[in-house]
Structure 1
Amino acid sequence: MKLALLSDPNTENAQAAINALLQSLISINKHSPLRVGYIASQPDPHREFYQQAQQMYQALGAELSVYLELEGGFSQQSLECLLNCDAIHLSGGDTYRFLKGLKNRKLLPVLRQYAINGGGLIGISAGAMIMTPSIASASLCGDINHCGLDDLSALNLVDFMFTPHIDQAQLQSDQFQQQLAVFKQQLCLCPDDSSLLFITGKVEQLGVCQWHLL
């Protein structure tokens, strides 16, 4: 599988991870530019975040041209186009709402099979948490389950959980350490300037992450 888990896509290590993943896809798919699809975590009426991502991928020599929304704007045609892309970008945003939308559309097994079949997945913040066994760790970065989601199980493409946007102040906080102690599974605490890349069958860390129960 080819996966990138990022906190902030605009940092040097995030860009390096995305570029490495795209380059690995070029060696397989033999066409340029690569086609990237985008799944919005929640409605983006003016496509502001989508357009920002378009510019980022264009700078990396790829073409982001498929937009999929999970709520009122969902389109089966867009889904089919998305699954024909070389890579899929899972956006940031409300992690609980994102997962609920994917479950409502029954897309978790579809995306999991896409990744198993060799398609690249690039997860930004909430999108990165979606790629793990569970989004329960979203609470550590301040997400609140406003949508009443009961089942927090996600794509389960890696064997650890992920929390983005971690800083030293949090790590040194007694309250945060108490929250962290609840988690009995390996957990990556990823600052904004770090990222994880999974291409060769093992996780490569770009930057410095902290690991709980490593």
Structure 2
Amino acid sequence: MKLAFLSDPNSENAHKAIKSILNEIITTDAENNGGTIKIGYIASQPDPTREYYQQTQLLYKRLGADLSVYLELESGFLQSSLMALLECDAIHLSGGDTFRFLAALKQKGLLPLLRQFVVNGGAVIGVSAGAMIMTPNISSAVLCGDSNHCDLTDLTALNLVDFLFAPHISAQLLQKGDFKQQVSSFSQQLCLCADNEALAVIDNRVLSYGQPHWAIA
């Protein structure tokens, strides 16, 4: 298993987490034979100018990987892009509206395909909303201000790990009484991650970059 959970993809610790995943791909992927790592991108919602995709392309280029497959889930969905995505070494799940992103993935029937991608040895790198979708469910999205505007009733997600993830949680927010009360209502282990913090999960090892806060149920 090769997973990265990022709050802000432009932070130093996010880059370290991504590098750990890319290094693991190079180490374990015999078919790569030292070639360029191929990354696919799933947009959380339409990005007509592909602004965020292009920013992410530059990020991976700086880290020595090639982001060249773009998949949109709503009006611009292409089956050919999905097939190309599943041939990549890693899939990048973008940030955005967590509820809308999960609803679109469910509507396209992509959760089982993404789980199988991981079983087959593929890596997944999630940013903010994308990171929360990698966990058992997205109930933690309310902690970083997301609202369920699409009235999604089933919050179950990819379930690739046994903990929940909440991005953009500052040290100041962790000290607030009402926030602590919100956190205490969760019955699962919860990782609260500031913008300059990240996690990587490689096989059964959880690697922390920075000092994310763990709330133990």
- The answer (yes or no) to whether the contact 1:92–1:127 under 8 Å persists in 2 is yes
Question: Which consecutive aligned stretches of 4+ in structure 1 deviate over 2 angstroms post-superposition?
Answer: none
Specify the code of the residue in structure 2 equivalent to 1:26.
Answer: I
**Could you tell me whether the CA contact under 8 Å between 1:130 and 1:155 is conserved in 2?**
yes
Read off the aligned partner of 2:12 and give its amino acid letter. Answer: E
For 2:127 and 2:81, locate their aligned partners in 1 and report how far apart those are by CA, in whole Å. Answer: 21
Check whether the contact 1:163–1:187 (CA below 8 A) recurs between aligned residues.
Answer: yes
CA distance in 2 between partners of 1:151 and 1:19 (Å): 33
Question: How many Å separate the matches in 2 of 1:30 and 1:129?
Answer: 32
Partner of 2:16: 16
State the distance in 2 between where 1:166 and 1:51 align. 26
Correspondence for 2:113 among 101, 104, 110: 110
Q: CA deviation at 1:80?
A: 0.1
Structure 1: gaps spanning 5 or more residues: none
Tell me the amino acid that sits aligned with residue 129 of structure 1.
M
Matched with 1:143 is: 146
Cα pair 1:189 1:212 within 8 Å, conserved: yes
Query: TM-score, structure 1 length as denominator?
Result: 0.98
Alpha-carbon distance in 2 for matches of 1:190, 1:158: 16
Which stretches in structure 2 are left out of the alignment for 5+ residues? none
Deviation at 1:200, TM superposition (A): 3.5
Aligned length: 214
Q: Is 1:196 equivalent to 2:199 in the alignment?
A: yes
Normalised to the residue count of structure 2, the TM-score between the two structures is 0.97
Secondary structure of 2:112 counterpart = helix
Residue 43 of structure 2 corresponds to which residue in structure 1? Answer: 40
Post-superposition Cα deviations, 1:89-133, rounded to whole Å, max 9, x if no partner, equal 000000000000000000001001101111010000000000000
Secondary structure of the structure 2 residue equivalent to 1:177: helix
Q: Read off the aligned partner of 1:70 and give its amino acid letter.
A: L
Percent pairwise identity: 60
Q: How does 1:1-150 map to 2 (within 5 A)?
A: 1-27=1-27, 28=29, 29-150=32-153
1:152-173, CA deviations, whole angstroms, 9 ceiling, x for partnerless residues?
Answer: 0000000000000000121111
3-state secondary structure, aligned to 2:67: strand
For the residue of structure 2 that corresponds to 1:13, the secondary structure is helix
